[in-house]
Amino acid sequence: MNVFRILGDLSHLLAMFLLLVKIWRSKSCAGISGKSQILFALVFTTRYLDLFSNFISIYNTVMKVVFLLCAYVTVYMIYWKFRKTFDIENDTFRLEFLLVPVIGLSFLVNYSYTPTEVLWTFSIYLESVAILPQLFMISKTGEAETITTHYLFFLGLYRALYLANWIWRYQTENFYDQISVVSGVVQTIFYCDFFYLYVTKVLKGKKLSLP
């Protein structure tokens, strides 16, 4: 465990909390892509199947449970509790365009051809593209609430910190995981355009709106 990894995990946790706080306080999930949140719930479910079979540390187990809970509570808020405020007309990204290639790739490129390993690989590939419905929704409506942009910023920061974590682990432990690294780089690239808008607009007190 290194500083990049712990800050990355905390940033991830903060992102998920911010999203829940936004929904809870405003009693609205306007501007949030339910499809992205379903994908994240699917990511955690397929990745953390080893929760009971493979103990790593108390930290690891607790974080997995918290991540799963946050993901499912968020989906519940969007599709049940505050369903009336859900902006379904703008959440139109076609999930099959992500799921079909991701399922195919997880069968083709994995570490071992076992059910849990293929599902783990699926979760890694899916996470790298899970935010696309959300980014698509923002580009469609042309704007995002400031708290939603903070959510996206911390989600992107988590990815960037994980890249630093992998460089660190490669240098100190000679550990590397090609599947995670390649997917992590792809995922981080998706946030670059957003990071630019966040720094040039949101941090200067302006609302994120696209021309």
Partner 1 sequence: REFTYVHDEL
Residue ranges in contact with partner 1 by CB under 8 A: 5, 9, 12, 47, 50, 54, 56, 60, 63-64, 67, 111-112, 114, 117, 120, 162, 165, 177, 180
> Residue 60's Cα: distance from chain center in Å?
18
CA separation for the pair 8, 177 (Å, rounded):
17
Residue closer to partner 1 (CB basis): 56 or 203:
56
Residue closer to partner 1 (CB basis): 100 or 186:
186
Residue closer to partner 1 (CB basis): 12 or 202:
12
**Minimum CB distance to partner 1, residue 197 (Å):** 27
**Minimum CB distance to partner 1, residue 91 (Å):** 26
Show contacts of 201-206: CB within 8 Å, 24+ apart.
Answer: 202/146, 202/149, 202/150, 202/153
Where does 95-145 have alpha helices with state H?
96-108, 115-129, 132-141
Classified as helix, coil or strand, 143 is strand
Residue 66's Cβ-count burial label (10 Å; 0-12, 13-18, 19+) is middle
Asked if 182 and 157 count as a contact pair (C-beta separation under 8 A), the reply is no
**Minimum CB distance to partner 1, residue 191 (Å):** 18
Residue closer to partner 1 (CB basis): 93 or 125:
125
Residue closer to partner 1 (CB basis): 137 or 155:
155
**Minimum CB distance to partner 1, residue 13 (Å):** 10
**Minimum CB distance to partner 1, residue 195 (Å):** 22
**Minimum CB distance to partner 1, residue 70 (Å):** 12
**Which residues pair with residue 143 across a beta bridge?**
209
Residue closer to partner 1 (CB basis): 9 or 91:
9
Quick one: DSSP state of residue 112?
S
CA separation for the pair 210, 135 (Å, rounded):
12
